[in-house]
Chain A
Amino acid sequence: MFTPHTPQEIEDMLNAIGVGSIEELFVKVPEKHRFPELNLPEPLTEMEIAAELKEIASANASTDEFISFLGAGAYDHYIPAAVDMLLRRGEFYTAYTPYQPEISQGTLQAIFEFQSLMSELTGMDVSNASHYDGATAAAEAANLAYHFFRGKRKKVILSRAVNPQYRQTIRTYMQGLEEVEVLGDNTDKGKDVYSEEFLSLIDNDTAIVIVQYPDFFGRVIDYTKLVNIVHEQGALIAFVFNPTALGLLKPPGEFGADIAVGDGQPLGIPLSYGGPYLGIFTTKEKYVRKLAGRLVGETVDESANRAYVLTLTAREQHIRREKSTSNICTNQGLMALAATIYLSLLGKNGFKQVANLCYQKAHYAAEKISALDGYEVVFKDTPFFHEFVVQTPKPVGQINLHLQNHWILGGFNLSEDYPEMENQMLVAVTEKITKEDIDEFVEALQEDTND
């Protein structure tokens, strides 16, 4: 199948090595444990596994059949056919990290273009070649800040309106830095970055403040003043952004963010049940030496041709070993390529169009839902992008079960992560949702209320 050896070749090779059998190659493996019988199912042929997987997939409800209002960090956008056609080129997906620039210019230039697009999108100076996902990129932002201040500042302050899973991930990553304290998000007040309680945390022991834009509840908050407050204390501020929103909204760089991280999944990457996605990491030039992860830089070859190489590699684990600030060695190469192709295809106009469609449809949905008895849009005086919070008349889980009968995936149940937000649903609307879909959704909610 995937091993080409004929019996004759095996014999010839063993002779060349000078051993009598394959087993002889393994004599150093403790005999007691050598050649275990693995209790696995009998192998399937390609035809059989293809059929089996189709059967397994049929046990799922997918966004192909269902209208989805789920977001909360993963979004169902339209992906133009050309994206996957190009991703399937084996020259991209069967290569590895471009260690040898002479035969990796394809990957290197694509990453360089990705870095350029991300810098432009966020309004920041530099982007790296990507991190695992938005959550780990946020954790690396905290890590950067800690190392930038050489461990002298001990507080990492998180808004409670940062994606709960990102906050959990940041805490996991901070375990190794024992003196670091992660705080700000434990009480309801942490949802409002301008509350006295939140602002009082920011001081000269603060390494970084992390906020989200639009925040986890979809709200678009003006962080201008916050950025000033953080900078007055000499600390850094990171924005967790949604890339689609930046097609319409002023970018983090214009607010003065020091770091902008986000998940690039909305840029041409399938939902794929949560991964693989794309961690975007952008920052100001001044922090580039503390940046974790791969960077591609432009240079020239011996014949003075323009060329691209991995650069500033002395920051990384394979050289600096225990002194590097992060252990990351892969990037999300293929996912970064997907985002690069997606943005190239949509271009200036297509991307703005998508952002605007999300915005318009979400606002229509919010208006229709708030007109329903028992439903109310929470935070209604704050602008939002394509997600908003709805107060529902009964538990969100129950409503979603009902919606499933109508081939609708209802919004995210906030009470699981926010006990104070009982009966509150986070609704996301993308360009894929039509007016009819929204009307159907509203009707189904109405019907459920009447039950």
Chain B
Amino acid sequence: MKTPEGLKYAKTDEWVKVEGEEATIGISDYAQDQLSDVVYVELMVDEGDSVSKGDAVATIESVKAAADVNFPVSGTIIAINEDLAETPEVINSDPYEAGWMVKIKLDDPSELDDLMTAGAYESYNVEREG
């Protein structure tokens, strides 16, 4: 399971990649593996929407499950990954690059402090597996 360094992770399995005031959001390799084959992604936001931490980003459906993805940070949507509608399987094959979901302009970078480092997220996953 890949957990790239340099990204921030939420307990609800979203990752955040910060570049200046902008952040890209997706779901972790661990999360896509739990879901198994993703067959559909519905993005619940549009460009220009302002969103708060905890709001729904997307719903992901696999054959056996459906999961909600929530914003781990607040901000304004500057881009959404339109390709996911046609190729949802990239969430499985490339969760950290092609599987990105939205880019936002951060409202409050201090919200990032609540998120985990790659190491902490890995330990958290080991703990969850029991």
Contact = CB atoms under 8 A, between A and B. Distances in A.
Interface of A: 150, 289, 312-315, 319-320, 323
Interface stretch (B18-26, B39-47, B108-116): B39-47
A323 B66 contact: yes
Interface stretch (B56-64, B71-79, B90-98): B56-64
Given A312-B61, A314-B61, A319 B42 contact: no
A185 B22 CA distance: 50
Nearest to B62: A314
A319 B66 contact: yes
Closest 9 CB pairs of A and B: A314-B61, A314-B66, A320-B66, A319-B66, A319-B65, A289-B40, A314-B65, A289-B42, A314-B62
A312 B63 CA distance: 7
A235 to B, nearest CB: 18
Nearest to B42: A289
Interface in B1-45: 39-40, 42, 44
Nearest to A321: B66
Contact of A313 (B42, B59, B63): B63
Given A314-B64, A315-B61, 12 more contacts: A150-B44, A289-B42, A312-B39, A313-B63, A314-B39, A314-B40, A314-B62, A314-B65, A314-B66, A319-B64, A319-B65, A319-B66
A353 B64 CA distance: 45
Interface residues of B, number: 12
5 contacts: A312-B40, A314-B40, A314-B61, A314-B66, A319-B65
B68 interface: yes
A320 B59 CA distance: 11
Contacts of B63: 313-314
Nearest to A324: B66
B60 to A, nearest CB: 9
Contacts of B65: 314, 319
Contacts of A289: 40, 42
Contacts of B39: 312, 314
A323 B68 contact: yes
A199 to B, nearest CB: 29
Interface of B: 39-40, 42, 44, 59, 61-66, 68
B111 to A, nearest CB: 24
Contacts, number: 24
A150 B63 CA distance: 23
Contacts of B40: 289, 312, 314
B56 to A, nearest CB: 9
Contacts of A312: 39-40, 61
A313 B61 CA distance: 9
A320 B60 CA distance: 11
Contacts of A323: 59, 66, 68
Contacts of B62: 314
By CB atoms of chain A within 10 A, which of B40, B59, B65, B66 has the most? B66
A314 B39 CA distance: 10
A414 to B, nearest CB: 44
Contacts of B64: 314, 319
A289 B44 CA distance: 13
B99 to A, nearest CB: 18
B91 to A, nearest CB: 14
Contacts of A319: 64-66
A162 B3 CA distance: 57
Contacts of A313: 63
A312 B44 CA distance: 18
A395 to B, nearest CB: 54
A323 B42 CA distance: 14
Contacts of B44: 150
Contacts of A150: 44
Contacts of B42: 289
A319 B61 CA distance: 10
Nearest to B45: A150
B54 to A, nearest CB: 15
A52 B48 CA distance: 70
B6 to A, nearest CB: 32
Contacts of A320: 66
Nearest to A313: B63
Nearest to B60: A314
A21 B61 CA distance: 49
A323 B69 CA distance: 13
A315 B66 CA distance: 8
B116 to A, nearest CB: 26
A284 to B, nearest CB: 15
By CB atoms of chain B within 10 A, which of A313, A314, A319, A323 has the most? A314
A150 B39 CA distance: 21
A18 to B, nearest CB: 35
Contacts of B61: 312, 314-315
Nearest to A150: B44
A289 B40 CA distance: 9
Contacts of A315: 61, 66
B42 to A, nearest CB: 7
A149 to B, nearest CB: 12
